[in-house]
Amino acid sequence: MSEKKPASVTDKIWSVLSSVTLAVVLIAILAVTSIVGTVIEQSTDYDKNIKVISTFVGSGAAPAAYKALNALGFMDMYRSWWFMSLLILFSVNLVVCSIERLPRIWKIVTDPMIPLKDNVLRNLGIRHEITVASKPEDARSVVESVLKAGGMSPQAATSSEDGSVQVFGQKGGWARFGVYVVHGSILVIFIGAIVGAIWGFKGGLNLPEGTDSDAAYQYGSGQEIPLGFTVRCNWYETEFYGNSDMPKLFKSELTVLENGREVMKKWIRVNDPLTYKGVTFYQSSYGPIPTPQNGLFVFKVKSGSGGEQMVWAKMNQPFKIPGTDMEATVVNFSPALTTDRNTGQLYTYTSSMNNPAVEVRFTRGGQEVLRTGWIWKRWPDTGKLQGGAALEFDHYWGAQYTGLQVRKDPGVWLVYLGCILMSIALYVAFFISHRKVWVKIAGDGRKTRILIGASAHKNKHAFEKDVEKMVSGITAGLEGGV
Amino acid sequence: MDSSALFNISTFAYIIAMIAYIAYLAFKQKGIGLAATGITAAGFIAQTAAIFARWSESYAQWMKFSPESSVLLGISRSAPLRNLYESLVFFIWSMILLYLIIEYVYKNRSMGAFVTPIAGLALAFIEMAGIGKEIQPLVPALQSNWLIAHVLISFFGYGAFAISYATSNMHLILASSDRKAQSYIFWAFAFSLFIWVLIVATAGTISGPPPEGMDGRSAGRGMSFWLPLAGLYPVLFFVVWRFGLSMKKLLSSFDLSTDILDEITYKGIAVGFPLLTLGIITGAIWADSAWGTYWSWDPKETWSLITWFAYALYLHSRLMRGWRGVKTAILSLIGFISVVFTYLGVNLLLSGLHSYGGG
Ligand code: HEM
């Protein structure tokens, strides 16, 4: 409210902090500075950004420009003091703006409606006037039922001057709070992010198959983060589309152990993590262990009659093939074996386990070497033996590690709560409006004049149509009654 | 008919519709207008059929690779919202749908001359740039229902922003009195920039990924790439600036006021803004479930936030005295420039600077 007193300094600051102008300025600054952070790669090494900066200022000026930008925090700008300050100022702006406006909105929503003077009624954004032959009492009850049908609870007042009656009603007043919930939800998200930053952590953990750990490691610093329980990787596997090298699935089987006891077990995959006691394990990478000490080759032995049995074997250690009189020995392994198209020679094309194969020597009675050949996981046929039996290569266990992202974020539920609130409130803010209707009914003995005025704080166009429907409802109701 | 034949029909229809709408603007013959609407609607039906045909083709492919998955999973994993090509198609589809609704509600066809060129340009861009159309299996990170929700919602939102973009352009033309007016110069700047960006994006895609340096990292694009394109911009600007105003005469003969245009711009943004918000939220949920971070300030995320800021700026500037009208229309244009940059610029321009990304 404007007062004549000269404004004090605190008043001035308050009025700046509550202004939409400040909001517009802050949003503009946030947007423009954010652009810089997408051009300069964040939290990366010097070489990369020097190259980016030389694109703009030339390689001569680049080191100086880098220094200046670095001093201003642009190499990690979204965590810099000035970006944080902008966000704080932005939040203060939101809070002060709401404190300043909410009481007024509260009053608009909760104040009872009062009948309007003719000149005000005739100046409303939406107006209609009809004259009917019915009696004013009939008109009043029809108007009331039409308002009720429109979702309003009608009230009425009789004028002491000319005895005319005004019926009025409103709906959707609460929708005026929608934008304030939108603004509040931004703060809820901020609080959630702060809670997560203070009480949560984010780290990584590379677990070879068959090993466990009771800690994760901070990215960058490598600092140990105790988990409070133990997690073990039982199995890691990449699945591919058909026989191609296009990965279809990365999955690990994890077990959670407390005091040596198994309390949880789950296959995790990208988009489907495991959560235990607030700590979540995400499948984020994988990789080979070049010389696995405890690696075991897993074979599926199929007998001619359809039976199936798993056999685990060590490199260079013969094992009996169940259901046959033969032994097998793994003598060589390749993570990705293929044949050179030109020379026909076998070679390993990548160190990651895309197309694993084992070279197996078959013997009988421990002495007689029958043959030596490669068995591919991708082509089970390569493991065919005589008589319909097969030695299928399934996995080289212990030769890969699973890369886990480990996170604890006690603030994430607040972030999601804020997101849900914001989504609902945005809908309310844009698509629901505070609508009011006044209907003045005045009889002059033979005819009744009905004056309709209406207003909506948003989407007037849509409400105009509704009011037109109400008017035709009134007309129809009264003609029917005559 | 297979999906690509149907897509070709819809592309062809939108380009013909564009010509018809422009002819309608020039000659104001009701028959031409009706034909324009009819052709657009036919294109829309063909495009809808094409999208479903493509869906069923990718469903067949998914089931071939993953015969063990349920029908429902197969349907969601093969939803045609999986790459740049499919999302561009869906964006155009949403925009045309919204446009047809607006044309019906406001009983005014003149906007078609501004909306169909966006569809025509975007489809021509797909064709020229040779964006991968082949149906490829999904990499593991993309196998998420949140991702489908994210793309669906975001691109529908972009469709709504595109409508606002068209009406803001019309607003600025109608409100301009001469070629020296600041708002007109800005309009010409933004409009020619829009065309220029599409040309750069196309050139960037046609010439393939930027060359690699000695260290195997991207070395960025050289002067031979940027110089001719930079030189093209002033030419484009001049042409738009010189001839843009003649559209004012055409437009003002329609029953269009800057008030109606302002209203439609606002409505487009009122639809687009909540959708953009939901799009950012579903994207964050997806990132959270895939990588354990709902927000990592990567350039794509940050640019979608910048777009969000731009439209928040539009919404709040309307509350400031004397801003509603030309100034807010300018902010709406800036918002759409940001949409296009988020969508194409991040992949095509920033990936030349950095080592990540790529089409
Ligand atoms: C990026 C952050 C913000 C978002 C997403 C946001 C969102 C919105 C939305 C959606 C509306 C409704 C607009 C309409 O109905 O046309 C609105 C209105 C408003 N906003 Fe914000 N806002 C933000 C920041 C702020 C800030 C910092 C202020 C501080 C002054 C502010 C003050 C207002 C006011 C005064 C209104 C009008 C309220 C009314 O009509 O009663 N906003 N905002």
Residue B358 has pLDDT above 70, yes or no: no
Out of A34, A108, A179, mutate this one to test ligand 1's pocket (max ligand atoms within 8 Å of CB): namely: A179
Contact residues, chain A, for B64 at CB < 8 Å: 242
Q: Does A95 share its domain with A232?
A: no
Q: Does A33 share its domain with A102?
A: yes
Domain boundary among A107, A137, A159: A107
Domain for residue A1, yes or no? no
Residue A97 · residue A105 · CB < 8 Å: no
Separation CA B144–CA B192 (nearest Å): 38
Residue A372 · residue A326 · CB < 8 Å: no
Q: Residue B352: pLDDT band by 50, 70, 90 thresholds?
A: low
Residue A116 · residue A453 · CB < 8 Å: yes
Residue A78, domain extent: 9-107
Q: Looking at chain B from residue 262 to 281, which residues have their Cβ under 8 Å from any Cβ of chain A? A: 263, 270-271, 273-274, 277-278, 281
Residue B266 has pLDDT above 90, yes or no: yes
pLDDT at site B349: 67
SS3 A306: coil
pLDDT at site B154: 92
Residue A228 · residue A245 · CB < 8 Å: no
Domain for residue A189, yes or no? no
Residue A129 has pLDDT above 80, yes or no: yes
Nearest to A215 by CA among A200, A201, A196, A231: A231
- Tens-digit pLDDT profile for residues B317-344: 998 887 888 899 999 999 999 998 888 7
Contact residues, chain B, for A270 at CB < 8 Å: 140-141, 143, 290
Nearest to A441 by CA among A192, A215, A227, A165: A165
Residue A480 has pLDDT above 60, yes or no: no
pLDDT at site B128: 66
Domain boundary among A83, A107, A131: A107
SS3 A248: strand
What's the A427 CA to ligand 1 centre distance in angstroms? 13
Nearest to B256 by CA among B166, B336, B334, B333: B166
Look at the block and give the residue holding tokens 């800021």.
B309
pTM: 0.87
pLDDT at site A482: 41
Distance from CA of A160 to the nearest CA of B (A): 40
Domain for residue A42, yes or no? yes
Phi, psi of A206 (to 5 degrees): -105, 115
Average pLDDT score over chain B: 84
Q: Looking at chain B from residue 26 to 85, which residues have their Cβ under 8 Å from any Cβ of chain A? A: 64-66
| Strand locations in A270-344 (E) | 274-276, 279-288, 296-302, 308-313, 319-320, 326-334, 337-339
- Tens-digit pLDDT profile for residues A405-441: 999 999 999 999 999 999 999 999 999 999 999 999 9
- Tens-digit pLDDT profile for residues A188-233: 999 999 999 999 998 999 999 989 999 999 887 889 999 999 999 9
Q: Residue B355: pLDDT band by 50, 70, 90 thresholds?
A: very low
Residue A2 has pLDDT above 70, yes or no: no
Residue B47 · residue B7 · CB < 8 Å: yes
pLDDT at site B306: 96
Average pLDDT score over chain A: 88
Residue A383 · residue A391 · CB < 8 Å: yes
pLDDT at site A33: 92
pLDDT at site B353: 58
- Tens-digit pLDDT profile for residues B56-80: 988 988 888 888 888 888 888 888 8
Nearest to A181 by CA among A420, A14, A412, A413: A420
pLDDT at site B217: 43
- Tens-digit pLDDT profile for residues B33-47: 999 999 999 999 999
How large is the angle between the packed helices B258-291 and B84-106, nearest 10 degrees? 150
pLDDT at site A324: 82
Separation CA B54–CA B86 (nearest Å): 9
Residue A283 has pLDDT above 60, yes or no: yes
What domain count does chain A have? 4
Domain for residue A428, yes or no? no
Q: Does A327 share its domain with A236?
A: no
What's the B316 CA to ligand 1 centre distance in angstroms? 6
Separation CA B113–CA B166 (nearest Å): 9
Separation CA B46–CA B1 (nearest Å): 11
B223 and chain A in contact, CB less than 8 A: no
Residue B321 · residue B279 · CB < 8 Å: no
Residue A294 makes CB contacts below 8 A (sequence gap 6+) with A210, A398
Which residue of B58, B62, B65 is the best one to mutate when testing the A interface, meaning the one whose CB has the most A CBs within 10 A? Answer: B65
What's the A334 CA to ligand 1 centre distance in angstroms? 61
What's the start-to-end Cα distance of chain B, in Å?
29
Cα angle vertex B320, ends B318, B323, to 5°? 65
Residue B354 is nearest to which of A41, A193, A416, comparing CB atoms?
A: A41
pLDDT at site B215: 44
Nearest to B160 by CA among B88, B268, B274: B268
Given the CA of residue B274, which atom of ligand 1 is nearest to it? 10
Domain for residue A137, yes or no? yes
Q: Does A415 share its domain with A449?
A: no
- Give the count of alpha carbons within 13 A of B201, CB side only: 25
Separation CA B45–CA B96 (nearest Å): 11
Q: Return the bridge partners of A362, or none.
A: A328, A371
Q: Where does residue A479 rank: exposed (0-12), middle (13-18), buried (19+ CB within 10 A)?
A: exposed
Separation CA B84–CA B357 (nearest Å): 12
Residue B313 has pLDDT above 80, yes or no: yes
* Percent of chain A at pLDDT exceeding 70: 98
- Tens-digit pLDDT profile for residues A376-409: 898 888 888 877 788 889 888 888 999 999 999 9
Q: Does A43 share its domain with A101?
A: yes
How much is the ipTM here? 0.87
Domain for residue A135, yes or no? yes
Name the residue with the closest Cα to ligand 1, atom 8.
A179
DSSP class of A230? E
pLDDT at site B111: 87
- Tens-digit pLDDT profile for residues B225-253: 777 788 889 999 999 888 888 878 777 77
DSSP class of A341? T
Domain for residue A337, yes or no? yes
Pairing of strands A346-348, A337-339: antiparallel
Separation CA B46–CA B55 (nearest Å): 14
Q: Count other Cβ atoms within 10 Å, centred on residue B114.
A: 24
- CB–CB contact A38 B295 (8 Å): no
Q: Where are the alpha helices (DSSP H) in chain B?
A: 3-27, 30-65, 71-77, 84-106, 112-129, 145-175, 182-206, 223-244, 246-252, 258-291, 299-317, 326-340, 351-353
Higher pLDDT, residue A15 or B291: A15
pLDDT at site B356: 38
DSSP class of B343? I
pLDDT at site B359: 30
Q: Return the bridge partners of A332, or none.
A: A359
**Chain A CA closest to residue B286:** A271
Q: Residue A147: pLDDT band by 50, 70, 90 thresholds?
A: very high
- CB–CB contact A431 B270 (8 Å): yes
CATH number at A126 reads 3.30.160.110
pLDDT at site B206: 64
- Tens-digit pLDDT profile for residues B173-232: 888 878 888 888 888 888 888 788 777 766 766 666 555 544 444 445 556 677 778 888
Residue A419 is nearest to which of B281, B309, B312, comparing CB atoms?
A: B281
Separation CA A432–CA A412 (nearest Å): 29
- Tens-digit pLDDT profile for residues B124-182: 777 766 666 777 777 777 888 888 899 899 999 999 999 999 899 989 988 887 888 88
Domain for residue A185, yes or no? no
Cα angle vertex B76, ends B73, B82, to 5°? 135
Element (H, E) at A29: helix A20-39
- Tens-digit pLDDT profile for residues A301-330: 888 777 888 889 888 888 888 888 888 899
Separation CA A225–CA A234 (nearest Å): 22
What's the start-to-end Cα distance of chain A, in Å?
52
